[in-house]
Structures are given as structure tokens and as C-alpha cells.
Amino acid sequence: MNVYPVNLTQGALLSCPFKADYSDLANLYHPYLKHRCWFRNVGKITLIAEWGRSAEADTIILADTNCTNFEITIYDNAGSVIDTQNTDDIEFINIFKFPKNEIKRVAITFSGVGELYIGYLFIGNKVELPRFIINPEFTTGIQSESGRTNGGQAYGSLLPTLDTVKVSFIRIPQDKMIIVEDYSQSVQNVIPHIIDLYPEAHEVIAPMYVTLSSAITKTKREEDNFYWNFSLSWQEAR
């Protein structure tokens, strides 16, 4: 299971000459996905992210977009190309992995139909959490309220649903427990981020944009050395 808590995009110099006048490139890392960054459609558009000093990264994520293709080029300190990736198979959350390296500049070229937007851009490192047991629990929260008239007619309004997921971890060694605790401290329950429960099975269980929604209550197992049982839960964010 991978999580993506620390977004280097916030410290990058972002530039794109075709950003819509009413929009803001800072919306690319705004916690509210629906703030989005909008772009004028002039054919192919290139968005640049660069840093004054190189930053270590191994992942780029683009989410909540109406673009129909992406081409990503990653550069090192010397200006040499580390990696290039492209796709026209666009999902709600699109994860691009590359070998961990010190990067200096990222160029993202995209196009589509109509006025274009990107809701979220992550550039940074994955954090690999320990393997959880095989029965994660998924819940779809229904927020709408309904009622009935005396005659039995139902009425109400439909509101967006929010998914939650809970996973349990069994017999986690102390060194892995430290990784989990560092992760939970970095995001707590206020910083939305991407989690990827099954990196090899996105067609069944897609990555999610979430906040951590529970404290970690860990229980030491009754055996020598330090092994822990605990659970984590998240709620979908928008």
C-alpha cells in the first residue's frame, strides 16, 4: 500500500503562459480539488514546475482533470532528461512512477477539448506502508436527507456521497510502525492526499484522494520483541 503525503509542488516555481486569467496555479495543490486550475485551450499546453535547489522525487500524480492526454518530462540538475512518460488513458487519479532521483524541473504537456482544468498535481515520493490484512472495509456515506408525506411519497435532495475505507494491520514490527506514525503525524486528519491500496489493481480499486480520519490505537502483541496490531481509516475528500 502506497501513500503520497508530502507534495513538493507547493515549493515549486510554477509557470504556464496559457493559464486562464481568472485562475491560479496555486490551485494545483489547493486542498479542495474543485478549486482546480483552468487553462485556455490553445492546442498543446506546457506546465513547468522547477525548484531553486533539486528535490528528491519518484512520483507524479495528476487528478481531477478533463485533459485527454499527458506527456511528462523530468530533468535533473544538469538539465538532462531523467525520464519521459505519456498517456492518453486518463482516469480520475493518474499516477506516474519513475526511478527516485534528484529532480530540478518537470514539464507537463497536455491537451484536450474545450477549456481545460487540472484539480491536483502531486510531485514527490511515495511512502510504502506495511501490508494490511486482506479484508479492507469500504463504506459509502449517504449524506442526503429524505422524508415522507402522510401519503407515503418520498421527498428529498440528492447530495454527493463520500467513501470511507478502513484497513487493519497485524504483527507490524517496530521499524515499520515508525513509518506509519511518521506518516500519520505528517498529515494528521487535515491534509488531503492520495492513497493507493492496490497499486497493481487500479481497475478494481482505484486510488483515492482522502484525509486520515482516525487516530492510531496500537496494541503490542504478547510475544518477544515489539510487534503491533492497529488499524487506519480514511474518508474521501473533494
Buried/exposed 7-33: b ≥16 CB within 10 Å, e otherwise:
bbbeebebebeebbeebebebbbbeeb
* Predicted confidence band of residue 96 (pLDDT cuts 50, 70, 90): very high
What value does the mean pLDDT take over residues 22-45?
93
What is the C-alpha separation between 1 and 102, in angstroms, rounded? 24
For domain 2-128, say whether CATH 2.60.120.260 is its number: yes
Q: Where are the domains of the chain?
A: 2-128, 137-236
Whether the per-residue pLDDT at 94 is higher than 80: the answer is yes
Tell me, what's the pLDDT at 43?
86
* Cβ contact 129:173 at 8 Å: no
What is the C-alpha separation between 65 and 91, in angstroms, rounded? 8
User: pTM for this structure?
Assistant: 0.90
What is the C-alpha separation between 200 and 26, in angstroms, rounded? 31
User: What tens digit of pLDDT does each residue of 162-179 get?
Assistant: 889 999 999 999 999 999
Count of alpha carbons within 13 angstroms of residue 113, beta-carbon side: 2
* 151: DSSP letter: T
Quick one: CA dihedral 17, 20, 26, 32, positive or negative? negative
Task: Indicate the average pLDDT of the chain.
Answer: 91
User: What are the cell numbers at 40?
Assistant: 485556455
Tell me, what's the pLDDT at 218?
86
Quick one: CA dihedral 182, 30, 211, 54, positive or negative? negative
What is the C-alpha separation between 70 and 118, in angstroms, rounded? 11
User: What tens digit of pLDDT does each residue of 62-72 get?
Assistant: 999 999 999 99
Q: Locate the DSSP E strands across the chain.
A: 2-4, 13-15, 37-39, 45-65, 69-75, 81-87, 93-111, 116-124, 127-128, 137-141, 146-148, 154-156, 162-173, 193-196, 208-212, 219-220, 227-236
Count of alpha carbons within 13 angstroms of residue 145, beta-carbon side: 0
User: What tens digit of pLDDT does each residue of 108-134 get?
Assistant: 999 999 899 999 999 999 999 998 886
What is the C-alpha separation between 122 and 4, in angstroms, rounded? 8
Residue 96 CB coordination number (10 Å): 19
User: What are the cell numbers at 111?
Assistant: 491537451
What is the C-alpha separation between 223 and 225, in angstroms, rounded? 7
> Could you give the C-alpha distances from 215 to 141, 184, 234, 235, in angstroms and in order?
20, 8, 10, 13
